[in-house]
Amino acid sequence: MSPGIEQLFFGIAAVVATVSSMLVVTRRNPIYSAMFLIVMFAAVSVIFMLLDATFLGFMQLLVYAGAIMVLYLFVIMLINPREGDLPEESGATEKSFAAGVSLLIFSMLSFAISHSNEVERLSALGSIPLLPEVSDSHGTIRAFGLELFHNHLLVFELTSILILVGIIGAVHLASRRKNNVPHNLTNAAEGVVSQDV
Amino acid sequence: MELTISRAEILAILPAGILFITGLVQLFADLGRSAENKRSEKTHLAMIGVTGFLLAFAALFVQGTGASTGPLYAGAMTDDLFGRMGAGVVIMTGLFSTLMSGSYLASRGSNSAEFTALISFGAGAMALLCQATNLVSIFIAIETLSLAVYVMAGYFQNQRSASEGAFKYFVLGAFSSGFLLLGMAFIYGATGGSLSLADIAASDGQQDSLFSVGTLLVLIGFAFKVGAVPFHTWVPDVYQGAPTVAVGWMAVAVKASSLFCLCRFLLFTGGSHHLAQLLAAISVVTMLLGNLAALNQQSLKRMMAYSGIAHTGYLLIPLVIALSGEGASAGASIPFYMFAYAATTLAAFGVLAAISVGSDRDQIHDLDGLSRSRPLLALGFSVALISLAGIPLTAGFIGKLLILSNAVQHGYLLLALVGIIASLISVYFYLRPVVSMWFREPKSSFELVPASWGITFTVAVCGIATIALGLFPGWLIDLSKRSVEAILG
């Protein structure tokens, strides 16, 4: 792909990702937020592919935009929030405070990027995706697997513990009000469950 | 390419690996439980846990006090004295928390294997965090231990305060992990794609503005994990809602592993005066706010929460010195202080667990006249509080002395002064429970379930350790100094 077209694709993907992530935060209806999140994931996966990380790009699409977002949507639809259940619109002072903090972080990050020698050095080399040392196999499943099982073996194994802890935690926290209701409350407990959960 | 694992690599992973296996065994040992079963004490789970922790501790001795093995697992971790000491603190804390858990949880009717298993898994991740030497392994270890601690904070699912604390902790924790990850990404970018700390230290990207911002974001992420002001708002709620036996573990082990990791990180990436000044400001505010907010607390757990925040403030002082790149040796006070803090805090939370078995007693006036009904518990708690206040002859005093004298040596007079003032303020609220235990009349309604042997044993051992470290600190100080020298090789 010629650098010009690559720039164009990057520009489109970047704008789409930024705008849709802003929409995720500002929509009040969680379904809309989830939908814009899918758009954002798709745009980010385009950026990954432009960076020659094909495998990561497809995983982003399959796992995040596909599997995880479907799960999100299921949860949202199960909870089924109606207009009255949605949280109160926060006040003007809270909003301006949040906007101020965001602006502060944004200006700090953009200052750092615009004054960085490393970024300057890379942009002098041409567009960032055209790094000279990237080989043909970069970003393929084979390269990814070799990297994962050789250089990051320990982390890979530790991730399985991370997921196990997550499962145990989710099961434990979701098992509320089953076994530990005092005996004299057992009859009334059925009603309590549906109200409180 | 061939996959080979050397002997040193197996040895290095041994303590954490044993803890992970312990967690799995505990889960399997508790399969097929019934509702009644949750009220029993389940000594077999505690015994499996204790065996696992003792084996892991033995593994540390097999590793010995020898020199660093250099990078293992392609730079993901190392096996040096500093990491082993951190793992030692984590393992001892987990050991005593497991020992205390049985009777307390059984009295609440929620004794299940999840509790002990989460302690084991969390402790394994913490031990790895102390030894982690690249950005990816640091992040995954932090996330693993955080998940375990989030669940622990909300362990009593039916309690409103527990759910509130856990929810706040989880949301803020996820947010701070975002900061941590973004910071790591910036560091990765600024150093031309280096993940391991040694590569980062060797790269010339350290002066880059991206690098400074990255370090700042990583600092923010860690500041949240250790509960430094202004990222401390979750601490009191979590301490109040979580099971008392777990709070001691959460307070010490999370703080210890995060600080060991942060110390290693800063020793490799340090050298920024602006960031050091910022961290110094955080340290001052944390010390003062923690101690001032503790003054007016009636709840013992909330008081201990603010005391924990204040101790984070003291512990940030050696990190300020390390970050400014002036004295790597300043980090030597961290291992000693963490051992002292672990012994002291475990003794204190052992007593809190003992008085809240079968009830929700948590107020300072609930301690009135404890010295008559339970002299041993009262003595243990008094020793712990005196040590936390930093009064001589205790481990806490030596720890503070090390930190403050280091600060004076490296010219941080203001930090040392604030530390001393903050300690003086803290004496007031630490002595309030002591007065109420020894000089107040016991209340007529005061009924105390006899403490289980696990709690009594923990309070006794940790109380004695607090005094012993205060009287004979030499060997541990020596070990701490050697451990910090070993980091940089």
Inform me whether the C-beta atom of residue A149 falls under 8 Å from chain B C-beta atoms.
yes
Asked if A169's CB is within 8 angstroms of B118's CB, the reply is yes
Burial track B64-96 (b if 16+ CB lie within 10 A, e otherwise): eeeebbebbbbbbbbbbbbbbbbbbbbbbbbbb
Tell me which of A108-112, A122-126, B171-175, B242-246 is least confident.
A122-126
**A67 part of a folded domain:** yes
CA-CA-CA-CA dihedral for B46, B50, B53, B55, to nearest 10: -130
Q: Do A158 and B38 touch (CB under 8 A)?
A: no
Residue A184 C-alpha, separation from nearest chain B C-alpha, in angstroms: 15
Say yes or no: A169 contacts chain B, CB-CB below 8 A.
yes
Q: DSSP alpha helices (H): ranges in B30-112?
A: 43-63, 81-107
In a domain, A96, yes or no: no
Distance from CA of B72 to the nearest CA of A (A): 10
d(CA A41, CA B332): 45
Amino acid at residue number B57: F
Cα B89 to Cα B60: distance, rounded to the nearest angstrom: 11
Per run of 10 residues, the mean pLDDT along chain B (length 489 residues) is 79 94 92 66 85 94 83 88 94 94 81 89 96 94 95 88 90 93 92 88 84 92 92 91 90 94 89 86 95 92 94 94 78 92 94 81 83 88 94 93 92 93 94 90 67 88 94 92 82
Number of domains making up chain A: 1
Question: Is position A97 within any domain?
Answer: no
On the 0-12 / 13-18 / 19+ scale of CB atoms within 10 A, A172 is buried
CB B459 within 8 A of CB B376: yes
CA distance A173 to A160: 20
Instruction: Give contacts of A172 with chain B, Cβ < 8 Å.
Output: 112, 114, 151, 155, 157
Q: How many CB atoms lie within 10 A of CB A174?
A: 10
What is the CB neighbour count within 10 angstroms for residue A100?
10
Q: Is residue A93 part of a domain?
A: no
The average pLDDT across A122-148 equals 69
Residues in A touching B150 (Cβ below 8 Å): 169
Among candidates B76, B122, B157 on the partner chain, residue whose Cβ is nearest the Cβ of A154: B76
Binary contact (B209, A111; C-beta < 8 A): yes
Chain B interface includes A176 (CB < 8 A): yes
Give CA–CA dist B477/B463, Å, rounded.
Answer: 19
Instruction: Tell me the percentage of chain A whose pLDDT exceeds 90.
Output: 29
A94 falls within a domain:
no
Q: What is the CATH number of the domain that holds A34?
A: 1.20.120.1200
Do the Cβ atoms of A165 and B137 come within 8 Å? Answer: no
Contact B109 A108 (CB under 8 A): no
Residue A184 has pLDDT above 90, yes or no: no
Q: Which residues pair with B72 in a beta bridge?
A: B77
In-domain check, residue A170: yes
pTM: 0.91
Sorting pLDDT into bands at 50, 70 and 90, what band is A182?
very low
Question: Measured between CB atoms, which of A119, A146, A158 is closest to B1?
Answer: A146
* β-pair partners for B71: B78
Does residue A91 lie in a domain region? Answer: no
Domain that holds residue A9: 3-82+103-127+138-179+189-193
For B282, half-sphere exposure in the C-beta direction (CA atoms, 13 angstrom radius) is 27
Show residues of chain B in contact with A176, CB under 8 Å: 157-158
Mutate to test the interface with A, among B213, B216, B257, B275 (most CBs of A within 10 A): B213
- On chain A, the residues whose CB falls within 8 A of the CB of B27 are 168
Q: Which of A108, A162, A179 sits opposite B144 (nearest CB)?
A: A162
Domain-embedded: residue A55: yes
